[in-house]
Amino acid sequence: MQIEKNKIEEHNQSLLKDHQRKFEFISSQISDVENILKKLSDFQIAIPSWALGSGGTRFGRFSIGGEPRNLEEKIEDIGLLHALNKSSGAISLHIPWDIPENVSHIKSLAAHHGIRFDAMNSNTFQDQPGQKYSYKFGSLQNVNPAIRKQAIDHNIDVIKYGVSLGSKSLTVWLSDGSCFPGQLNFRKAFQNTLEGLKEIYAALPADWKIFVEYKAYEPNFYSTTVGDWGQSFLYASKLGEKAFTLVDLGHHLPNANIEQIVSLLLMEKKLGGFHFNDSKYGDDDLTVGSIKPYQLFLIFNELVEGMDARGMNHATDLGWMIDASHNVKDPLEDLLQSVEAIKISYAQSLLIDRKKLNEAQNNNDVAAAQEILQNAFRTDVRPLVREARLRSNGALDPIAIYRNEKVREYLIEQRGIKTIATGL
């Protein structure tokens, strides 16, 4: 489904007066509004193909209806999100679910919606129908070389699909690990995994990156073979300059200082990208910014400071992606909320007075440093985010127009109530 341009214009017109009043107010307080608006417009967040349908837990799954049934419909859904927020101009595919049957058709459909192909994701955390060997006891870490080879070959296939579509990166997340003490020789598991990653790395085209994602626990509950940023950093360092660590916000032990991890990885040129989500207890995969918005802001503070220190392009030099699951919300509304939360935190971090913060730090003026950060965090930057969207011909209030146009009802009518998005 597409929402016609004139519908978006009509919607914007109805909210314009109120928006302009708020935008003028915040503009009068900021010196470089145009620069901030430009950065906000450029900043795109990739949507993963698996986040477009209802997620679930091991206890059950409740379908929302109208979920995308194939890759074409997934691209159409992201095209709709992008038309509304002008910030979701990329899709991240998961193989084997998103194998393109007709590459040129898929490419032209994505181009039509202004969508590019972000990182490709491999899957060796479950067995597929017809697969020769099982990943029950791990993939790249497995004690059986034939199983390791199967996992390596799968990742190389994923790179090939990505090349055909114009993607430039591969994300490897391994569920490998152990559930009980004694099950695994940690050193051998690490070495097997490293050897496998080396073979995958060797298959990367020159202009590609590989992201090694880590996770503290689950589905394995005693050890994880890429368990934290230190282990991911170790793999990425040993692999070479095309290998980076990927930070998924939900993959840490409770209360980990993620912003500090981000800062040091950036300094070492080993931060590759992000999977945004939010959580209260574990890998909850909740809507970005719904539980800990201050943490998200502090992460963006380090990102902006660290990228500027290295002269990086905020929009293009790191991979930005949502990785979440929606059990009780309309997934498309949830994604609109997630993208909005990311843009708000980014905008707030652009407001931080770096010169003053630097002075406060050099003077050990702790209270002033906190004031500077919290002044930015407590600023209502939504008019800035809306203005950037308006100038890109997006909608002032994406969720409102999504509801007014009865998008979900239309999708259910078109696709049926009992659809299940592939890959979930």
Binding residues for Mn ion, per CB under 5 A? 248, 275, 323
CA dihedral 237, 239, 240, 241 (to 10 degrees): -80
Min. distance of Cβ 209 from Mn ion in angstroms? 16
Which CB atom, from 215 or from 314, has the smaller least distance to Mn ion? 215
The answer to whether the CB of 238 falls within 8 A of the CB of 271 is no
Which CB atom, from 248 or from 333, has the smaller least distance to Mn ion? 248
Min. distance of Cβ 369 from Mn ion in angstroms? 32
Instruction: Tell me the C-alpha distance between 175 and 126, whole Å.
Output: 9
**CA-closest candidate to residue 408, choices 338, 333, 336, 339:** 333
Which CB atom, from 106 or from 265, has the smaller least distance to Mn ion? 265
CA distances from 239 to 73, 199, 209, 245, 378 (A): 36, 10, 11, 11, 42
* Distant-in-sequence, close-in-space partners of 188: CB < 8 Å, separation ≥ 6: 143
243-248 and 209-213 strand pairing: parallel
Min. distance of Cβ 246 from Mn ion in angstroms? 7
Min. distance of Cβ 249 from Mn ion in angstroms? 9
Which CB atom, from 249 or from 350, has the smaller least distance to Mn ion? 249
Which CB atom, from 77 or from 248, has the smaller least distance to Mn ion? 248
Instruction: Tell me the C-alpha distance between 227 and 223, whole Å.
Output: 7
DSSP state of 51: G
CA dihedral 340, 297, 310, 197 (to 10 degrees): -80
Which value, in Å, is the radius of gyration of the alpha carbons in the chain? Answer: 22
Min. distance of Cβ 250 from Mn ion in angstroms? 7
177-178 and 223-224 strand pairing: antiparallel
Min. distance of Cβ 122 from Mn ion in angstroms? 12
The token duo for 95 is 């193989």
The position carrying tokens 């935190």 is 345
Min. distance of Cβ 27 from Mn ion in angstroms? 37
Which CB atom, from 283 or from 405, has the smaller least distance to Mn ion? 283
Which CB atom, from 172 or from 407, has the smaller least distance to Mn ion? 172
Min. distance of Cβ 31 from Mn ion in angstroms? 37
Which CB atom, from 73 or from 323, has the smaller least distance to Mn ion? 323
Length of the chain in residues, anyone?
Answer: 424
Instruction: Tell me the C-alpha distance between 347 and 26, whole Å.
Output: 12
Classify residue 59 as exposed, middle or buried by CB count within 10 Å of its CB (0-12, 13-18, 19+): exposed
